[in-house]
């Protein structure tokens, strides 16, 4: 049995409706490069780094975790579950692994310690490695993120879903593939700077993902791959109107 209540923010944190432009002001309790100083008694460890550094960070973090704690990544694409299991085997310890489908908020760095939340997603996804953890994880992350959590039925659905792992390289490639190295007069915009050619590239990448999903479904008919959809549909389902492309 378990009970989840509303987040108990300390006096150093002020929270209001982030879905509608509210503010979140906070001060970290600790900043350190030594994992054991930060997480030795933690019930939940959240990894928020790009997928290509997941394993290196996990190898530093996992040995400092208490056995049985929860471990997740936001987002968890790129085979986070495999990397987490590898780090756990190497450390000869155990943790309850789950993945979070995407970042909960669209944010932009405004300056040192100041981030603007331009938009909050209306829904997010998750997948627990152990089926017995699913109900708890859905409730836990729903409270922490302030949004409904949809179970994906497989970690592969998180990796194949056309989200940031498609958007970021596709948009950056479209913007800089013809760049000759000449310094830019203005900082390039990311989503706002998406061109028609960039949209075509994203569409082609999304088509590749759906082709992979079709191949998996043909080989394993019971495998659920409806999370792998075209990019425009995916964006419209998780973002509010201002983030649609």
Q: pLDDT at position 190, please? A: 85
The answer, yes or no, to whether residue 64 has pLDDT greater than 70, is yes
Which residues are CB-neighbours of 88 under 8 A, at least 6 positions away?
62, 94, 95, 97
pTM: 0.77
pLDDT, tens only, 11-63:
444 444 555 555 666 777 888 889 999 999 999 999 999 899 999 999 999 99
What 90-93 contacts at long range (C-beta under 8 Å, 24+ apart), as own/partner pairs, is 90/59, 90/62, 91/59, 91/62, 91/63, 93/62, 93/63, 93/65, 93/67
Q: What angle do CA 127, 130, 132 make, to 5 degrees?
A: 105
pLDDT, tens only, 118-157:
777 888 999 999 999 999 999 999 988 889 999 988 888 8
3-state secondary structure of 91: helix
Q: Residue 185's pLDDT band (boundaries 50, 70, 90)? A: very high
**Alpha-helical regions (H) of the chain:** 35-39, 54-61, 80-91, 134-145, 155-160, 164-176, 196-219, 231-238
pLDDT, tens only, 66-122:
999 999 999 999 899 999 999 999 999 999 999 998 888 877 777 777 777 777 788
Q: pLDDT at position 8, please? A: 47
The answer, yes or no, to whether residue 4 has pLDDT greater than 60, is no
Q: Average pLDDT of the chain?
A: 82
């Amino acid at each position: 049995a378990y009970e989840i209540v509303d987040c108990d923010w300390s006096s150093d944190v002020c929270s209001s409706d982030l879905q509608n432009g509210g503010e979140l002001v906070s001060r970290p309790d600790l900043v350190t490069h030594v994992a054991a100083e930060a997480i030795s008694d933690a019930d939940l460890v959240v990894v928020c780094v790009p997928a290509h550094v997941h394993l290196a960070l996990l190898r530093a973090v996992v040995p400092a975790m208490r056995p049985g704690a929860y471990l997740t990544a936001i987002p968890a694409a790129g085979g986070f579950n495999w990397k987490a299991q590898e780090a756990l085997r190497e450390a000869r310890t155990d943790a309850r692994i789950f993945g979070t489908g995407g970042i909960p908020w669209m944010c932009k760095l405004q300056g040192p310690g100041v981030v603007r939340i331009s938009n909050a997603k209306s829904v997010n996804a998750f997948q627990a490695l152990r089926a017995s953890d699913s109900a708890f994880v859905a409730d836990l992350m729903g409270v922490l993120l302030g949004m409904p959590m949809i179970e994906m039925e497989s970690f592969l659905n998180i990796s194949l879903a056309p989200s940031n792992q498609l958007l970021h390289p596709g948009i950056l490639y479209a913007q800089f593939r013809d760049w000759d190295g000449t310094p830019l007069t203005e900082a390039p915009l990311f989503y706002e700077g998406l061109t028609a050619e960039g949209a075509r590239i994203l569409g082609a990448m999304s088509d590749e993902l759906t082709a992979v999903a079709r191949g998996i479904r043909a080989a394993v008919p019971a495998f659920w791959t409806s999370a792998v959809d075209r990019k425009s549909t995916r964006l419209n389902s998780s973002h509010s109107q201002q983030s649609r492309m």
